[in-house]
Homo-oligomer: A and B are copies of this chain.
Amino acid sequence: MKMEQRSFIIKGNICYTKTMGCLDVADQAYLVCEAGVCQGVFPVLPSRFKGLPMIDYKEDLVIPGMVDLHVHAPQYPFRGLGMDLELMEWLQAHTFPEESRYADLAYAKDAYETFVRDLQKSVTTRAVVFGTVHTPATELLMGMLDACGLVTYVGKVNMDQNCPDSLQDGGVQEALAQTAAWLQATLGKYRHTYPVLTPRFAPACSGQMLEGLGKLQKEYGVPVQSHLSENLSEIALVTSLFPWASCYGDVYTHYGLFGGAAKTVMAHCVYSSDREVKQIKENGVYVAHCPQSNTNLSSGIAPIRKYLDRGVAVGLGTDIAGGATLSMLRCITDAVGVSKLYWRLVDQQDKPLSMEEAFYLATKGGGAFFGNVGSFEEGYELDALVLDDREISSTRQLSTKERLERYLYLAQEGGRLVAKYVAGAPVLL
């Protein structure tokens, strides 16, 4: 059976997006996968593929898998709770106390099992994930994520200031040594889980820590994830801690943790200055836009249209537990919604994101961080979702595009994820 070689054909109503803003729709078409790689979408099946097994999903929607560019696994236990604080207070009141618990591996196992099971059942196929400072708990999480079949980057967090002692990992040298050991232990260990360097954010890292992490980046060639310009108090703190920096992003740049050779994703960028945006663009840094989190923590609205106009690489993130839900569908509609409010309340030069544009960000936009991911073009790794919307009540005949739009807004009213493939391998739902 060739399914085992990840070579097969999916038939259904196929929607994806090659170009920002344009939805490619092919009804009752054939999506061909060979060895996990997409061969394209065909209205009529080319004869060269006729030997492959075919799964006919009939009227179901078939779309690319969703990429969550920013999610904190250890914060999952308090998602949807404590939604009344801003970032810095919220970290002290809710986040740090919860993250401290992951020193206890039994607690970590229990909590991460819940997170991984829910992520597995979600529409997410790939994710860039924060762990905690704890190496054993982070390795546990990496193993679980690998076993569930998603492709993930996972970071052991580093921080050594402006956080509780219990989360400081025994001083800079000790923390850096542990981080090096963790990289050695996990690089190449898993099928599709990879380590990512994870300075929590500039306010929680000394220059010494950032310098050490920059060296590790060069030595091991691993990517980087962190937070950037999320909240006004946070930015003020960065300015006071790193007075020499021309902008928040400059702190990371200074230590070699901001794109260029170091593939980097920065969450939020709500208040990035022109200078910072220029660095983001020039260094090829990815922006993980987290609209629900930016709303829940009263941070503001990131000017995503401006970033897109300047050619910045943008994807979407749920940012659990700043965001309450793992649903990337909700993330798409939230991205559309806050962009409308930004247009209305802040800058009418920045037209709102369309559904198709936000869908692009959640698939091909964030997918680019993983390579050729997030589209059904030839040569892309085949991540796909099969969606059944029959239980979402309707009295209309809907086009496939309308069904997709409605699924994004109303999946919770009876939408069902029928199947999920990552690089051509089915994921157990």
Contact = CB atoms under 8 A, between A and B. Distances in A.
Interface of A: 77-84, 107, 110-111, 114, 117-118, 292, 295-301, 324-325, 327, 333, 336-338, 340-341, 343-346, 352, 354-355, 393-396, 398, 402, 405-406, 408-410, 412-413
Given A325-B409, A346-B345, A395-B110, A296 B337 contact: yes
Contacts of A327: 412
Sort A-B residue pairs by CB-CB distance and give the 3 closest, nearest first. Answer: A412-B412, A80-B409, A298-B340
A123 to B, nearest CB: 13
B352 A298 contact: yes
Nearest to A292: B337
Contacts of A394: 77, 114
A170 B355 CA distance: 39
Contacts of A408: 80
A295 B325 contact: no
A393 B298 contact: no
Given A110-B395, A341-B341, A393-B117, A83 B409 contact: yes
Given A78-B396, A292-B337, A345-B346, 11 more contacts: A77-B394, A79-B406, A80-B410, A81-B398, A81-B406, A117-B393, A295-B340, A300-B344, A301-B345, A325-B410, A325-B413
A295 B406 contact: no
A274 B349 CA distance: 28
Contacts of A345: 300-301, 341, 345-346
A298 B79 CA distance: 28
27 contacts: A77-B394, A79-B409, A79-B410, A81-B402, A81-B405, A81-B406, A83-B355, A83-B405, A83-B409, A84-B354, A110-B395, A114-B395, A118-B393, A118-B413, A292-B337, A295-B340, A295-B341, A298-B344, A298-B352, A300-B344, A300-B345, A301-B341, A301-B345, A324-B410, A338-B341, A341-B345, A345-B345
